[in-house]
Structure 1
Amino acid sequence: RFDSHLLLPSSQHSKPLEQLMTKVMSMDEKPGFVDSMAHLRKDWGNLTVFCIDGEGAHEIDDGVSVEDAGNGEHWVHIHIANPTAFFDHDNPLAKMARHMTETIYMPERAFVMLPRWSTKKHFSLQAERPVLTFSARLNSKGETVEQKIQPGFIRNVKFLTPTEAARIVGVAAGLMPDVVLRIGGEIPHHEPKKTGKHLLDHEIEMLKKLQT
């Protein structure tokens, strides 16, 4: 049934949208990305960035880190994916993102805001990826005493599920256990479960500071 409010790529409801999708997918080999913020990027070095998301997430678009600022104060950094630094508003990727506005998760599949080739190869957060970072320096009362925004590169990324993060910081009581149900057909490929077992002691302490 035609639904004018559900114009999703590959749904064949809109010829212009299908043409845009074809153009977007053809950019895979030669996207022509240029980092307009390259000269401004801060190298976050070995600072651990925690990306906390569900196992089924198709792109990891944010992470958090914490730094000791002395005198009982801490910097809390929110790092987000920074694709718009690499193309202008007339780029087919920008047009597709404006149309989608978000990734839509359906029971049978996900309709992504940006094509998977772009997030997997260039923008989804992992080591050596560009970010835009929103930072706040907090005092012991949790009050913001300084804030700033800066583009950068992250080098040290650790992935966790929300359940694992909750267990690490000690707020897992009452959480529903993870359950996977498979009914009929072939057993789908299942990605390895993200886990906090690979965290170092000081990284666990950093997560606990974020919780407090």
Structure 2
Amino acid sequence: MDQVRQVMQQMINITEEELESFLNKTSIKTFKRQEIVSMPDSIPNNIFFINKGIIRVFITDSEGTEHTIHFALENQFIADYSNFIKQQPSFYTLQALEETEVVILPRKTIEWGYNNLTEGQKMGRLVAEYYFIYQDDRIKNTYTRTPKQRYDSITDIFPNIHNRVPQHMIASYLGITPIHLSRLKKEDSRKL
């Protein structure tokens, strides 16, 4: 709980008593490598804070092809935020790519925080703003940057990603084929 405690203290002014009351309403769970954290077609009722590990967010199209939308690493919150807020069935699958320990923040805990933490509303707003900015930047990058530029900047967004995530998932995230990703990697290795 130390990591989520530190992140919350960095985001908002919160007393030790408020923090304890909030964190007592959460739980910790470890997901195995490749285990599904959250399924599509069900209403997401949890937000997850990653203590250790990495979660991939993907959507499966009508032909069964998986499209990677996002990766979430340590010290980040992750959920299908839109459908969590709207209380509608999710489109996304959240999958642990390595053994991943999360703090589970159930809907009732989030709502308790909004109503009982002095800056609970601010906390919710900051998490939503972070996610909005991430998604907005991702859309802009997809349409305004070349695949090479997106490849070059992926480690700025996700440090050490190439050592933690299969290449076909990185290619999917970048919107390119695995073969194209291999070419980009070869070009980089020739420059060294």
* TM-score normalized by the length of structure 1: 0.28
More strand per residue: 1 or 2?
Answer: 1
Which has a greater percent of helix? 2
Instruction: Choose 1 or 2 for highest CA Rg.
Output: 1
Q: What TM-score results when the alignment is normalised by the length of structure 2?
A: 0.30
